[in-house]
Chain A
Amino acid sequence: MYDFAYHKPASIADAVKLLAADPEAKVVSGGHTLLPALKHRLNKPTSLIDLSGIADLKGIKKVGNSIVIGALTRHVEVATSEIVAAAIPALAYMASHIGDNQVRNRGTIGGSVSNNDPAADYPGAVLGLGATVHTSKRKIAADDFFQGMFTTALEADEILTAIEFPIPEKAGYAKMKNPASRYVMAGAFVSKGPMGVRVVINGAGPGVFRQSAMEAALAASWAPGAVAGVKQDADGLNSDIHGSAEYRAHLVGVMAKRAIIAAG
């Protein structure tokens, strides 16, 4: 790992100032994506801005008909939160299946969503619930936030501060995980509620996406069988040592069905 300068600001404003002052700086939250990348010298930031001292980025609250989760909230906290379990059990279930206990003790929702790894879990839930991403500058709808592999609407000097999840009537998540890392090979997050009927696929493509044909079928009749007739096209899906595009296309149908069963 190359060396870098280290800063630990106490406020969002100070963190943004540091980030704006140095185009080669990066923020670090749990470090469980960034540090493995730095170890392999895939990245060479001049400085790291540690967000962990910023109290405003922490915590889980119910605000009106939404659950608002601070960017620094760790996966273990979402997995074991009574507020999340009561309002959106599918989200707690998803968080409890990210990586392993040690990864969940450090990794954060803000880090995962900002990173937008195609094989990550959280982007599925954020888009699948039609959440709103809060940043140091503005609020961005999930539909506009994710822009393909490792790409989001975040600007260079913008920090993700919280995610606001509208509470759905029902929601469910299922993933086929890579047995070594638990990352997603293909997953589906389905929901019905204030943001309509959503079927979101993660892991299978270069980025998380809405499966509109499945959404239409599920809106017409909410039942596991509803998506059986909808075929996912393998064109454009990921093909790698873990699975071919054709295999992933098949998994999309299976995961969508399981997610609908989980949602009830």
Chain B
Amino acid sequence: MPQVTLTVNGKTHSVAVESRTLLVELLREKLRLTGTHVGCDTSQCGACVVHINGESVKSCTTLAVMCDGAAVTTIEGLAAADGTLHPMQEAFREYHALQCGFCTPGMVMSAIDLVQKHPEGLSEREIREGLEGNLCRCTGYHNIVKAIAAAADVMHGKRETIAAAAE
């Protein structure tokens, strides 16, 4: 079986996988990082989004063997060691941007990539377009969009805390 060596949330793993193993299967079944979800088999829902070398990618449509040497970040890798949430996670909580939470890990990972790629800021429309690859079936997108706008302000230093932005 091919051997894959990759960094996941800062930790290096060397794992034997079948060629057909998807990145999401490696994460969930071999590394037991079950925060990354699978919501479809058509590559459309975005529940499985993780970062590969800093860019958001659908891990259900990426072979594990193609990630040899890559740095992967999952939802489990966002919070600080002391448990302090990433501003995007904090914003999702503060703005009630989740209900069942199934889509949330993918939403958060896509949103962080989107915000990082737009230091100039994002309009509401740009946030909505930036979420085209993520489906939410229960919260609705309204609060998700508000949360991302607030987190963007904090991530780009325009506000100090999510709580201040929530007012």
Contacts and interface: CB of A to CB of B under 8 A. Distances in A.
Majority SS at the chain A contact face? mixed
A178 to B, nearest CB: 11
Interface string A1-15: 111111010000000
Contacts of A105: 55-57
Nearest to B63: A31
Contacts of A76: 55
Contacts of A39: 41
B146 to A, nearest CB: 20
Given A3-B20, A31-B66, A182-B132, A101 B61 contact: no
Contact of A106 (B41, B57, B114): B57
Interface in B65-115: 65-66, 110, 113-114
B44 interface: yes
Contact of B58 (A8, A50, A102): A102
A36 B130 CA distance: 22
B44 A181 contact: yes
B62 to A, nearest CB: 7
B20 A4 contact: yes
B119 to A, nearest CB: 14
Contacts of A3: 18-20
A66 B62 CA distance: 33
Chain A residues touching B, range: 20 to 34
Contacts of A1: 20, 22
A175 B65 CA distance: 35
Given A101-B113, A102-B57, A106-B57, A6 B65 contact: yes
A4 B56 contact: no
A168 to B, nearest CB: 27
B42 A36 contact: yes
Contacts of B152: none
A103 interface: yes
Contacts of B19: 3-6, 48
- 9 shortest A-B CB distances, which residue pairs? A100-B133, A6-B19, A100-B132, A102-B133, A1-B20, A3-B20, A105-B55, A102-B58, A35-B61
Interface of A: 1-6, 8, 28, 31-32, 35-36, 38-40, 48, 50, 52, 76, 99-103, 105-106, 180-182
Interface of B: 2, 18-20, 22, 41-44, 46, 49, 55-58, 61-63, 65-66, 110, 113-114, 130, 132-134
